[in-house]
């Protein structure tokens, strides 16, 4: 079945993509407050909160929470002692995670905007972080030539660092949709994949392969829209799990 038959409309010809005149388009909102490069900007999964991080360093407050509709600065989060490189929200929007040049990863409660935990273990810059689709495992990539997996239930490492990256920093990390594999990209110009399930089971933490609610199926409605016939279409993100 084609995408057009699902949404009830036809896609435009390929040669029309990117041909719109954008010269008159202006930003909807401008957010001012950082004093150096902004390295990341993400929206809270639910609501109208936006988080930004910057290379302006923690002494000048690199983590800022904004109202995405008004542009108002809500709060500044302090804790990192060097620039922040990467941000991620958990799918339920309850936890923000940040990775920094200070070698640490920090988790934050998005209801109180207080720090939950500091994840320490890397010995160099944390370049990237990724949260597993089931919301329970964090992966981090670092300039120390390692990738680490963390248990988000208790903020502890799941295993020893994943080290066989060749040479150079690990610059990016990503889970597959079924979270069986982890992909890492490195300065040695190579990409590596890792068997996440094997690592979890070897650590005796099979419970982490279930959703946070410990049920066998975890489904999240990511978006809804109406087609031309007036039918409501749900875009689902589903993860099937065995008991």
pLDDT one-digit tens code per residue, 43-98: 666 667 776 766 665 333 467 788 877 888 888 888 888 888 888 888 888 898 99
Mean pLDDT, range 216-228, rounded to an integer: 44
Contact (Cβ atoms closer than 8 angstroms) between residue 241 and residue 217: yes
The predicted-structure confidence for 140-160, as pLDDT tens digits, reads as follows 999 999 999 999 999 999 999
Distances from the Cα of 240 to the Cαs of 150, 174, 216, in angstroms?
Answer: 22, 19, 6
Beta bridge partners of 220: 237
Whether the predicted pLDDT of 13 surpasses 60: no
Domains of the chain: 28-214 (2.130.10.10)
Supply 33's token pair: 């407050």
Strands (E), 24-168: 38-43, 49-54, 63-67, 73-77, 84-89, 95-100, 105-109, 114-119, 126-131, 137-142, 147-151, 156-157
- Say if CB 151 and CB 136 are below 8 A apart: yes
pTM: 0.69
With beta carbons less than 8 A apart as the criterion, state whether 199 and 231 touch.
no
CB contact at 8 A, 114 and 79: no
């Amino acid at each position: 079945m084609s995408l057009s038959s699902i949404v009830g409309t036809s896609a435009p010809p390929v040669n029309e993509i990117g041909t719109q005149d954008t010269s008159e388009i202006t930003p909807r909102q401008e957010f001012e407050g950082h004093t150096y490069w902004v390295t990341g900007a993400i929206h809270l999964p639910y609501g109208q909160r936006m988080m930004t991080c910057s290379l302006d360093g923690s002494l000048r407050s690199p983590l800022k929470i904004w109202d995405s509709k008004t542009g108002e600065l809500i709060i500044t989060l302090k804790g990192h002692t060097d620039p922040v490189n990467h941000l991620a929200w958990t799918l339920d929007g309850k936890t923000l995670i940040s990775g920094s040049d200070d070698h640490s990863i920090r988790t934050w409660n998005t209801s109180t905007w207080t720090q939950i935990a500091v994840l320490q273990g890397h010995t160099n810059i944390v370049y990237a972080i990724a949260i597993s689709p089931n919301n329970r495992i964090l992966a981090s990539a670092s300039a120390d030539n390692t990738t680490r997996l963390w248990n988000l239930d208790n903020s502890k490492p799941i295993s020893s660092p994943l080290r066989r990256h060749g040479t150079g920093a690990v610059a990016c990390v990503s889970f597959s949709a079924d979270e069986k594999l982890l992909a890492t990209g490195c300065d040695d110009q190579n990409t590596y994949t890792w068997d996440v399930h094997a690592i979890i089971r070897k650590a005796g933490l099979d419970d982490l392969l279930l959703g946070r609610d410990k049920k066998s199926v975890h489904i999240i409605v990511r978006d809804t829209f109406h087609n031309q016939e007036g039918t409501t279409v749900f875009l689902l993100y589903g993860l099937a799990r065995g008991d």
